Amino acid sequence: RLPRSDASHSGELGVQTIGVIGAGLMGNGIAHVAAASGYKVILSDVSSDRTEAAKATIAKNLARGLTKGTIDEATIAAILARITLTTDTAAFVAADLVIEAATENEAIKVKIFAELSPKLRAETLLATNTSSISITRLAAATDRPDRFTGLHFFNPVPVMQLIEIIPGLATSAETTAAMHRFVAALGKTGIESEDRPAFIVNRILCPMLNEAIFALGDGLGSVVDIDMGMKLGANHPMGPLALADFVGLDTLFSILQVMQATTGDSKYRPAPLLVKYVEAGWLGRKSGRGFYDYSGEAPVPTR
């Protein structure tokens, strides 16, 4: 995966500059792949500490390729030079597409879009990286629901090949087509999902992760045996408990809650052990403890 540092995106799409709101795990990954594909990127968050930490993470992740010889220092410098940091969303007047990757909280996202949209040029496209909130409802908080889609990336963004494209009720066919072209320009594969809770991948993945936590809570097997079972028995790259820790137990909990609330189907109820872990603040990798303890050199199973 050699970054196309000299790629030019002034063509049919009309998208040359990408705005990314939120410099967390997903936001820095999106900024990374967009800059590596030749786009100019404006990355924003509420504080410059957060945006600078994100740029340092991008530099660290790009440097993974140095020892493998898939990238050189000059290419890394060119990619990083395309990323501008800001704490002022007025900077997005220069953006052709703005992707929101803030916290998975509907009130926060609605506030961001309501404040942002009047500052943008009329032709600028908008997207959200939400994993479970209604695209149609978020689009309605903007002045351009026809130019709005869901663009759902997967973690780690530089590695994962898929992006889900989710048109809302009012999204125009041109906007959806432009998003397909953008996804292809990032070197990723796009699939299109209806605007329903959790879309395609999380609808199937999250109940599987939840089931693994039910199984652990029921005493069916240990953390190691459950994870080994799915790695070697189903060829998953990570066991479900390790993956739940990787995604974040609070994120998994919130997606399951949305699925249960919007469908009324009890099959999506979060496993009691998941609820307890979230209550304890054991949120997986990001908090240092989940089904594994991450405080040492290598993760250690906790049950």
d(CA 162, CA 139): 23
As a residue count, the chain comes to 303
Helix, strand, coil % over all residues of the chain, rounded to 5: 50, 15, 35
Task: Tell me the β-bridge partners of 126.
Answer: 98, 148
**From CA 261, how far away is CA 134, in angstroms rounded?**
13
Cα 286 to Cα 298: distance, rounded to the nearest angstrom? 15
The reply on whether position 193 binds ligand 3HC by CB under 6 A is: no
Contacts 24+ apart (CB under 8 A), 225-229: none
Query: According to the binding rule CB under 6 A, does residue 156 interact with ligand 3HC?
Result: yes
Q: Which stretch binds ligand 3HC (CB under 6 A): 35-43, 113-121, 237-245, 282-290?
A: 237-245
Active site residue 211: no
Cβ of residue 214: shortest distance to ligand 3HC, in angstroms? 18
> Which listed residue (16, 61, 176, 302) binds ligand 3HC by CB under 6 A?
61
Q: Which of 53, 78, 110, 160 is in the footprint of ligand 3HC by CB under 6 A?
A: 160
Q: How far is the CB of 197 from ligand 3HC (least distance, A)?
A: 12
Taking the C-alpha atoms of residue 22 and residue 98, their distance in angstroms, rounded to an integer, is: 11
Among 17, 84, 131, 142, binds ligand 3HC (CB under 6 A): 131
Residue 238, interface with ligand 3HC (CB under 6 A)? Answer: yes
Residue 180 is among the residues annotated as catalytic for this protein: no
Catalytic, 152? Answer yes
Q: Does 202 bind ligand 3HC (CB under 6 A)?
A: yes
The DSSP call for residue 17 is E
Going residue by residue from 1 to 40, which x/- string records binding to ligand 3HC, judged by CB under 6 A? Answer: ----------------------------------------
